[in-house]
Amino acid sequence: MSSTKKVRVRFAPSPTGGLHLGGVRTVLYNYLFAKQHQGNFIVRIEDTDQTRYVPGAEEYIFNCLQWTGLEPDESVVHGGKYGPYRQSERKEIYRPYAEALVDKGYAYYAFDTPEELERMRKDFRTTDNPSPQYDHTVRMKMRNSLSMPREEVARLLSENARHVIRIKMPENETLSFTDIIRGEVSFNTSVVDDKVLIKADGMPTYHMAVVVDDHLMEISHVFRGEEWLSSTPVHLLLWKYLFGLDAMPEWAHLPLILGPNGKLSKRDGAKYGFPVFAMNWKDPKTNELTEGFKEKGFLPEAFINLLAVLGWNDGSEQELFTRAELIEKFSLERVQSGGAKFDYEKAKWFNHEWIKKLTAEELKEPVRDIYEQKGIVVSDEKRLVEVIELIRDR
């Protein structure tokens, strides 16, 4: 990336449920980096997987951002010149890019039915390869525009036959990129399957949409969770084929947040009695409630502070940071690559410190919120301040 490019970073959640603290940390690191470089922080809603869509989840994400004060400069809610910021509203944009890839021989149409795919997984199963994928080893035995006669493909397309577009992963090529946190990362393309780019319903998959949108929205840096590292070979190829590797944003994959048993999960929260989401989230299908830091009584200042240091330090012993200090001191180079352990006792310590740090006046609103949640109406302002002074240390 050329150093003259304006800093534009994005958080790209899929509206599928509550916002995990790992998600908020991703928001925070994006936000701090944007503010530090007088750049823009964008929130893009990645809702192209209609089967995973959960009503209310998008609104909930914006409520969490508002509570933490990590407000985007551009989004569905905040507007901006690069919209729409919801991928389902951009559906028509992606297909021409995928078709251009087909024309250049980098992708192909595949007409296999779900039953045929199932059969492939059974028929090609061996002891060495217990779960065969749609890749260079099987693609010529399937029904696609590489294996079928040209006229047959043209006929199927003209009849609007159900199909997807897949990327043709090259065989045995090494792809690499430099991750800001991890340094050089390499992959062999042979282990990656021919990922679907455009689905049968016409929607792009995550891989297709993320690359096209990062390009169109002029994203300069992509900071996202480590779980997306395995997707980077596909993204690298799409960048190379569509826009050129020089145009590609810089990438950093943030370390996992670890709970008592590996990756911190919603279940850990329920099991050990600590919140895992930013705010309370009630699943509209199951009515299951997952607790949030806000409702547990955490101050946004404390929440942000404890997230900032989950995987980052400034090289000193300092643990308490104001937002302004974080904007000044944060650097991705000092983010660790190994998992960061979440410790709820420590999280409570941060909150306690922040309760002591803020004035009673500053604590009024969060305390009033908690009273309201419990159905208590606060009418006497002076009294509220007196109560805060009395109980804050405890």
Closer of 22 and 269 to ligand GLU (Cβ): 22
Say how far apart CA 274 and CA 272 lie, in whole Å: 6
Closer of 142 and 307 to ligand GLU (Cβ): 307
Is residue 14 near ligand GLU by the rule CB under 6 A? yes
What does the buried/exposed string (b/e) look like for 48-86 if buried means 16 or more CB atoms within 10 Å of the residue's CB? Answer: bbeeeebeebbebbbebbebbebebbbbbbbebebbebb
Active site residue 282: no
Nearest-approach distance from CB 237 to ligand GLU, in angstroms: 15
Residue pair 293/303 in contact (Cβ under 8 Å)? The answer is: yes
Is residue 224 near ligand GLU by the rule CB under 6 A? yes
| Region near ligand GLU per CB under 6 A, out of 12-20, 77-85, 159-167, 193-201 | 12-20
Is residue 228 near ligand GLU by the rule CB under 6 A? yes
Nearest-approach distance from CB 275 to ligand GLU, in angstroms: 20
328, 329, 353 from 318: Cα distances, Å: 14, 11, 13
Is residue 195 near ligand GLU by the rule CB under 6 A? no
Nearest-approach distance from CB 126 to ligand GLU, in angstroms: 33
Nearest-approach distance from CB 14 to ligand GLU, in angstroms: 4
| Sign, Cα dihedral of 264, 267, 272, 274 | positive
Could you tell me how many residues of this chain bind ligand GLU (CB under 6 A)? 8
Query: Considering only CA atoms, which of 75, 51, 62, 78 is closest in space to residue 24?
Result: 62
- For helices 300-308 and 344-357, give the axis angle rounded to 10 degrees: 130
Catalytic residue among 266, 294, 296, 329: 266
How crowded is the C-beta side of 225, counted as CA atoms within 13 Å? Answer: 19
Among 8, 9, 12, 98, binds ligand GLU (CB under 6 A): 12
Query: Considering only CA atoms, which of 43, 25, 4, 96 is closest in space to residue 277?
Result: 25
Closer of 204 and 259 to ligand GLU (Cβ): 204
Residue recorded with tokens 């929260």: 269
Say how far apart CA 88 and CA 99 lie, in whole Å: 19
Contact pattern from residue 41 through residue 80 relative to ligand GLU, giving x for each residue in contact according to CB under 6 A and a dash for the rest: -----x----------------------------------
Active centre residues (catalytic): 266
Binding-site ranges for ligand GLU (CB under 6 A):
12-14, 46, 206, 210, 224, 228
